[in-house]
Amino acid sequence: MDNKIDFYIRNFWEDLSKNELEKALSYFIDDAIVIWGPYEFKGKAEIGKKWMEEFLQYFDISSIIERKLISEEKSATYEFIINLRMAYGARGELPLLARYEFKDKKIKQLEIMPSDGHVIIRSEDIKLHIPKYQIYYSFSRKKS
């Protein structure tokens, strides 16, 4: 069932992929928290400067493929794949799982982690930059 939460989640990633940081930040409450792996960013200013801007320095998002979106009134889980170009030119796919908590229809907390799947980088891109090595990562989350 599509609802406003689904709309906010999809539009947040779309705005981020278009480098529209102010629009992307508008989906967060002022004291929101973003958890990106081992890093935690607190408040809109830190989320915008330290997470969004740095993320976009390393990854140019070309498209987002939705795998699954489950939302409730105050929480959501979003599994998706980001097709991206990295700062050094290689292209790849990054599977992610995002868990959201909402307050007053805005993001209170966003935790982003690798999803089950693989980071895939095209071999012809790798040959341009790292001739002797192939980069291939596999992620698997164990159910607790």
Token output for 108: 């209170």
Token output for 100: 């959201």
- The predicted model scores a pTM of 0.79
Question: What is the Cα–Cα distance from 42 to 99, expressed in whole angstroms?
Answer: 16
Q: Which residues contact 80 (CB under 8 A, 6 or more apart)?
A: 13, 64, 65, 66, 67, 95, 96, 98, 115
Question: pLDDT class for 91, splitting at 50, 70, 90?
Answer: confident
Mean per-residue pLDDT, 12-34? 95
Question: Where would I find the H helices in 40-89?
Answer: 43-46, 53-58
Residue 69: burial class (beta carbons within 10 Å; 0-12, 13-18, 19+) = middle
| pLDDT tens-digit readout, 98-125 | 999 999 889 999 999 988 765 556 555 5
Token pair 């140019």 in the structure block, residue: 60
Does CATH place domain 4-139 in 3.10.450.50?
Answer: yes
